[in-house]
Amino acid sequence: MNDQAERPVYMDHAATTFIKPEVIAAMAPYFSQYFGNPSSLYRFAGEPRKGVDAAREQVAAALGATPAEVFFCAGGSEADNWAIKGVALANHKRGDHIVTTAIEHHAVLHTCEWLEKHGFSVTYLPVDTFGRVDPGDVEEAITGRTVLISVMTANNEIGTIQPVARIGRIAHDHDVLFHTDAVQAIGAVPIDVESMNIDLLSLSGHKFYGPKGTGALYVRRGTRLENLVHGGGQERGRRAGTENVPGIVGMGKAIELATADIEGHNRRLAAMRDRLIREVLSTIPDSRLNGHPTERLANNANFSFRYVEGESILLMLDARGICASTGSACSSASLEPSHVLLATGLAHEEAHGSLRLTLGDANTEDDVGYVLEVLPEVIGRLRQISPLTPPAGKRVPEAE
């Protein structure tokens, strides 16, 4: 089966997804006949305004929120910045302490580090070997000065799903606001902001088959939050800038499609994921699965292979038409080992030899079969030339 050179196997859906044809179709009229500025008063503003309103309802419906609690912005990074800086600034008189975890996306971690330079203090909670945060640790970290707890719903590198409903309960019991970065969770983990006690939630269109540069922040009514982008009165005075109307319409359609049948979607992807995990671990020696065995995203398989470098794996897979990732996209560019894998207790060598395969809606069992044919060859070849590989028979047993 080698039509693969023609059709590359894309298994990097945690980095970004393709845009579904229905989404492109929904967006198209807003580039042409409905190009008007939704803030204007003349007739050209009517359809764009209706498109934005409908998208706000679609996003709200996916979260169990009301449309008035949904604010559009330019993506997951902006939503994370807005939630964390916005809560910190608006609640500074009450407190100056934030609780988060060591495995958050850099949009959260770097925002918290920035706040530390400006007088806030931040607790970065550890995780267990599977990447799970202990809700008991969250509770212990809360002080009289804590204004915000920020814990992601699901991790972008290892796919581990956090006990967010329990953490939200704890936050509310202590009268602390709870933010979750749900960028990887939309369409994979059912979200209900009420029962999960979520006050602020970040999402990003291009992670669920919508357009890039689109995102939203859910803000529970009554939450004290400073605005970050100042200017015109768009988004009910909370976020300035003429709306990205086609993007917003596309994201609305995309979230509706992504949350229509989460269970069916997960069942299909988990079957392929589990085949990948089972066969990689049984055919490739000195391999391990990173992340949680069961509490993980249905599309995520993350492995470590001893004695090899993740970057070399990626290049050799790319030469065979397979697109994957090592650690996060940002860490692979800097050659730093992933902060997430290190936080789960992996040694630097093991964190370096990691491979993330993230499945998506267009992947087939044939794609999985092709990866399972190529990957053992690639790892075998790299180990032959790796100075790190010990001679046969001298391999150290896997540390627990």
* Residues with active-site annotation: 330
The verdict on 98 binding ligand PLP (CB under 6 A) reads no
The verdict on 331 binding ligand PLP (CB under 6 A) reads no
Q: Which of 13, 56, 85, 105 binds ligand PLP (CB under 6 A)?
A: 105
The verdict on 100 binding ligand PLP (CB under 6 A) reads no
Candidates 283, 268, 278; CA nearest to 373 is 283
**Contact pattern for ligand PLP over residues 189 through 218, marking x by CB under 6 A:** ---------------x-xx-------x---
**Contact pattern for ligand PLP over residues 213 through 252, marking x by CB under 6 A:** --x-------------------------------------
The verdict on 83 binding ligand PLP (CB under 6 A) reads no
Q: Which of 103, 127, 152, 280 binds ligand PLP (CB under 6 A)?
A: 152
46-63 and 245-258 are packed helices; what angle lies between their axes, rounded to 10 degrees? 30
Q: Which of 107, 164, 200, 341 binds ligand PLP (CB under 6 A)?
A: 107
The verdict on 101 binding ligand PLP (CB under 6 A) reads no
CB of 221 to ligand PLP, least distance (A): 24
Distance CA 62, CA 65 (A): 8
**Contact pattern for ligand PLP over residues 163 through 182, marking x by CB under 6 A:** ------------------x-
Helical residues (DSSP H) of the chain, grouped into ranges: 21-27, 46-63, 76-90, 106-117, 135-141, 164-173, 234-237, 245-258, 262-283, 310-319, 329-334, 339-343, 348-352, 365-385
Nearest residue relative to ligand PLP (C-beta) = 76
The verdict on 320 binding ligand PLP (CB under 6 A) reads no
The verdict on 150 binding ligand PLP (CB under 6 A) reads no
Distance CA 129, CA 290 (A): 8
> Nearer to ligand PLP by C-beta: 183 or 193?
183
Strands 146-150 and 177-181: parallel
CB of 397 to ligand PLP, least distance (A): 34
CB of 14 to ligand PLP, least distance (A): 6
Candidates 303, 239, 277, 314; CA nearest to 86 is 239
47 Cβ contact partners less than 8 Å away, ≥ 6 residues apart? 29, 30, 33, 34, 36
> Nearer to ligand PLP by C-beta: 96 or 181?
181
> Nearer to ligand PLP by C-beta: 153 or 304?
153
The angle formed by the CA atoms of residues 398, 290 and 272, to the nearest 5 degrees, is 120
CA distances, 248 to each of 51, 60, 82, 262 (Å): 8, 13, 18, 22
| Binding-site size, ligand PLP (CB under 6 A) | 15
> Nearer to ligand PLP by C-beta: 142 or 191?
191
CB of 247 to ligand PLP, least distance (A): 11
> Nearer to ligand PLP by C-beta: 206 or 238?
206
Candidates 241, 269, 321; CA nearest to 37 is 241
CA distances, 168 to each of 52, 192, 201, 255 (Å): 30, 12, 12, 23
The verdict on 156 binding ligand PLP (CB under 6 A) reads yes
Phi/psi zone of residue 38: left (φ > 0), alpha (ψ -120 to 50 degrees), beta? Answer: alpha
CB of 160 to ligand PLP, least distance (A): 12
**Cβ count within 10 A of residue 159:** 25
**3-class DSSP state of 66:** coil
CA distances, 231 to each of 64, 238, 309 (Å): 30, 9, 47
Helix, strand, coil shares of the chain as percentages rounded to 5? 45, 15, 40
Q: Which of 77, 146, 259, 358 binds ligand PLP (CB under 6 A)?
A: 77
Under rule CB under 6 A, which residues in 259-288 are in contact with ligand PLP? none
Interface with ligand PLP (CB under 6 A): 75-77, 80, 105, 107, 152, 156, 181, 183-184, 204, 206-207, 215
